[in-house]
Structure 1
Amino acid sequence: MNAFELICLLSVGCGMVCALGLAAHLVHRPATMAVMNVVWPVCALFGSWAIIVLYLRFGNRHDGQPKWAHVAKGSLHCGSGCTLGDIVAELTVLALPAAATAFGWPWLFGDRMFATWVLDTFLAFGFGIAFQYFAIVPMRHLTPREGLLAAVRADTASLLAWQVGMFGAMAVFQFWLYPHFLGWRPTAAHIQFWFAMQWAMITGFATSYPVNAWLIRQGLKEAM
């Protein structure tokens, strides 16, 4: 094992430990908003100890917190759907490569990664809208139809902004950094891939943050 592989193992392992720790904590002390019991641990997979710090400071608070915390929690709420979508998509294609064929490989895309990204986007959108639905309906007391429409309006732009940042970062890792420095391109079967994914999710958070700030200012998305 070389030094970089050890760094990857430590980073991904730390994220998993933080996620499991938060999940165990939330079993005994559930979040005020039920969907956040999933959001916090999922986001800890890439945000690690920083997510725990944010949770401890602002996890169950709504009033009296700075605007940036509202926006950060809104961005993480969106990002948890993207994270789950990506994990499920990557593991599905890893276990069943033929799944990529339905989403464009090789008849549309020469690289299987792009077909996986299409599947990822579909799954991320599904998870993201579902998470937003279960947040917005109890907060606004909406009917199922109203809640679905509100969730789509609230999260579509945010999800797309997250995906752009995430895919952009993964493209840098997979098409430049890894081939240049490692001489090969890791797949979902390698720890280096998931290390890159952690940074890609952090980039997604950064690109979706201003979009979430705008959505909250416009009243399209609830401050959390």
Structure 2
Amino acid sequence: MDHATHHTGTAHDHAAHETHPDQGGRRPGTATWGAAAKATLHCLTGCAIGEILGMVIGTALMWGNVPTMILAIALAFVFGYSFTLFAVRKAGLDFKSAVKVALAADTVSIVVMELVDNGIIALVPGAMDAHLSDTLFWTSLWGGFAIAFLLTTPVNKWMIGRGKGHAVVHAYH
């Protein structure tokens, strides 16, 4: 083998080892907007189920705004984590490891989502006192979810790109 062929092969080998593209041809540490949106939608689904359930329960029990909001947020975390927990348990992880993965995958996303959507509801005049039968209740809730999705997606993209957040779940799919 001559020097030029050897050198070219070596340079090619080094380039291949430095980039290690994944199946999509992307370098590690990069995250697509699609992956970030999917992770955010996954999180939003659990949060929305928990929040709506909490608000329905709090309203049915005639609780005030603060206890109802606390219940709704607590259930948002429970449902948000449970989606990931069930998925990684199904993939074969033991319960303790699955809890660790769910906490690592979802905590930041859920916190950002809850701060944003509950902040929106708190800021919309009359939304905190609206009833489940009021349009204002549902428009402020869904508007808060939409804004939370838009603001949380870049956070998830940043985290996935650093091997954090939902990136830890992909090892178990």
In the superposition, the TM-score normalised over structure 2's length comes to 0.71
| Equivalent residues of 1:164, 1:207 under 8 A apart | no
SS in 2 for 1:174: coil
Residue type at the aligned position of 2:33: W
| Equivalent residues of 2:58, 2:71 under 8 A apart | no
Please give the per-residue CA displacement for 1:135-159, whole angstroms capped at 9, x wherever unaligned. 34456x4222111111011111110
**Unaligned 5+ runs, structure 2:** 1-22
Residue type at the aligned position of 2:122: A
Q: Give the one of 71, 95, 108 matched to 1:157.
A: 108
CA distance, structure 2, for counterparts of residue 69 and residue 75 of structure 1: 10
Residue type at the aligned position of 1:74: A
> Given the alignment of the two structures, is residue 90 of structure 1 paired with residue 41 of structure 2, yes or no?
no
CA distance, structure 2, for counterparts of residue 133 and residue 114 of structure 1: 28
In the superposition, the TM-score normalised over structure 1's length comes to 0.56
What corresponds to 2:121 in structure 1?
Answer: 170
CA distance, structure 2, for counterparts of residue 196 and residue 63 of structure 1: 38
What corresponds to 2:46 in structure 1?
Answer: 81
> Given the alignment of the two structures, is residue 117 of structure 1 paired with residue 69 of structure 2, yes or no?
yes
| Equivalent residues of 1:154, 1:215 under 8 A apart | no
SS in 2 for 1:188: coil
**Unaligned 5+ runs, structure 1:** 1-61, 101-111, 180-184
> Given the alignment of the two structures, is residue 135 of structure 1 paired with residue 79 of structure 2, yes or no?
no
State the 1:64 CA deviation.
Answer: 8.2
State the 1:215 CA deviation.
Answer: 2.5
Q: 1:148–1:75: structure 2 CA closer, same or farther, 3 Å change rule?
A: same
| Equivalent residues of 2:117, 2:145 under 8 A apart | yes
| Equivalent residues of 2:58, 2:67 under 8 A apart | no
CA distance, structure 1, for counterparts of residue 25 and residue 67 of structure 2: 44
Q: Give the one of 151, 159, 164 matched to 1:207.
A: 151
Residue type at the aligned position of 2:51: D
Q: 1:186–1:213: structure 2 CA closer, same or farther, 3 Å change rule?
A: same
State the 1:197 CA deviation.
Answer: 0.8
Please give the per-residue CA displacement for 1:51-97, whole angstroms capped at 9, x wherever unaligned. xxxxxxxxxxx958981111001001011111011110111122111
> Given the alignment of the two structures, is residue 70 of structure 1 paired with residue 35 of structure 2, yes or no?
yes
Higher relative contact order (CA 8 A, sep 6+): 2
State the 1:116 CA deviation.
Answer: 1.4
Residue type at the aligned position of 2:124: F
> Given the alignment of the two structures, is residue 126 of structure 1 paired with residue 78 of structure 2, yes or no?
yes
Q: Which has the larger radius of gyration?
A: 2
CA distance, structure 2, for counterparts of residue 201 and residue 143 of structure 1: 32
Q: 1:161–1:123: structure 2 CA closer, same or farther, 3 Å change rule?
A: same
Residue type at the aligned position of 2:46: G
RMSD: 2.6
CA distance, structure 2, for counterparts of residue 136 and residue 212 of structure 1: 19
